[in-house]
A and B are shown apart, each in its own frame.
Chain A
Amino acid sequence: MKKNIPVFTVCCVICLFVFAAFMAWYTVSSASLRAKTAETTQLLETSRGREERQWSEYNQAQEALPLTQKELDEKRPLADEAEARVAALKEKRNELRKEKQALEEAAAKGTAEEQPDPASEAGKEAGSHE
C-alpha cells in the first residue's frame, strides 16, 4: 500500500528550516556588520578630525609663508647696508691706522734728530780747550 507524502507538512518544515537558517545568518551577519559600521564610523570621525587639523596647519603655514617672506625681503637690504657700513668703517680704520703709524714714525725720526751726536760734542769740547 502506497503511503501519501504530506506535501504541506514537508513544505512547512522546509520553510521553518529556511527561516531558522536565515535568522541564524542574519543574527551573526547583522551583529558583525553593526560592529564594523561602528568601527568605521569611529575611524571616519578620527580621520575627519585629522583632516581638519591638517587643513588648519596647512592654512596656518600658507598664511605665515608670505608674511615671513615679506619680512625677509624687508630686512635683507638692511643687512646688506649694515655689512657695507662695517666694510666702510674697516677701510676708514685702516687708513687712520696707517696715518697714525706714519705720524709715529715721523715723531720718532724728529726725536732722533733733536738728540745731540756724542762724537761731535767731544770734538767741540777739545777745540775749546785748545
Chain B
Amino acid sequence: MSKTVKIMLCAVMLIAFTLMVLFGGEYLDASRKYKVLKNDLADSTAIWKHVNESKLVVQKELKEVRSELREVELTISESGERAAELEAEISQLEKDIEALKSANSPAK
C-alpha cells in the first residue's frame, strides 16, 4: 500500500472519528434536553394535579356556600310573600272585628 493511500485512509479515519465525536456530543446534548423536558413535564403534571385537587376543595366549599345563600334568599322571598298574605288576612280580620263590634254595641 502506497504512502499516499495510507495518508488518505488516515484522513478518512480522522474525519470519521471527528464525526463520531460531534454526533455523539449532539446526541448526549439532545438526551440531556430530553431528560430536562421529562422532568419539567413531571413537575408540571404534579403541579396541575395538586392545583386541581385544591380547586376541587375550594369549589366544593363555594358550592356549599352558594347553596346556603340560595336557601337564605328563598327563605327571605317566601317569608315576604307569607308576611304579605298574613297582613292581608289580619287587615280583613280587623275589619270583621270592627264590624262585629259595631253590630254588637247597639244591641247592648
Interface residues of A (CB under 8 A from B): 6, 8-9, 11-12, 15-16, 19, 22-23, 26, 29-30, 33-34, 36-37, 40-41, 43-44, 47-48, 50-51, 54-55, 57-58, 61-62, 64-65, 68-69, 71-72, 75-76, 78-79, 82-83, 85-86, 89-90, 92-93, 96-97, 99-100, 103-104, 106-107, 110-111, 114
Given A41-B37, A65-B61, A100-B96, also A89-B86 (CB < 8 A): yes
Interface contact A51-B47, CB-CB below 8 Å: yes
Q: How many A-B residue pairs have CB under 8 A?
A: 153
Given known contacts A22-B23, A86-B83, A104-B100, is B62 in contact with A44 (CB within 8 Å)? no
Q: Contact between A83 and B62 (Cβ–Cβ < 8 Å)?
A: no
Within the complex, the shortest CB–CB distance from A21 to chain B, in Å, comes to: 10
Residue from B30, B72, B82 within 8 A of A76 (CB atoms): B72
Q: Are A97 and B20 in contact (CB under 8 A)?
A: no
CA of A16 to CA of B12 in the docked complex: distance in angstroms? 9
Cα distance A61–B58 when bound, in Å? 6
Whether B82 and A86, one on each chain, are in contact in the complex, defined by CB atoms closer than 8 angstroms, is yes
Cβ of A102 to closest chain B Cβ, rounded Å? 9
13 contacts between A and B (CB under 8 A): A8-B6, A23-B19, A29-B27, A36-B34, A40-B41, A47-B41, A54-B55, A57-B59, A65-B61, A72-B65, A103-B97, A107-B100, A110-B108
Residues A8 and B1 in contact, CB atoms below 8 Å apart: yes
For the complex, give the distance between the alpha carbons of A51 and B40 in Å. 12
From residue B17, how far is it (CB to closest CB) to chain A in Å? 8
Interface size class of B (residues with CB under 8 A): 35 or more
B90 interface neighbour in A72, A76, A96, Cβ under 8 Å:
A96
* 8 Å CB contact of A100 from B62, B80, B100: B100
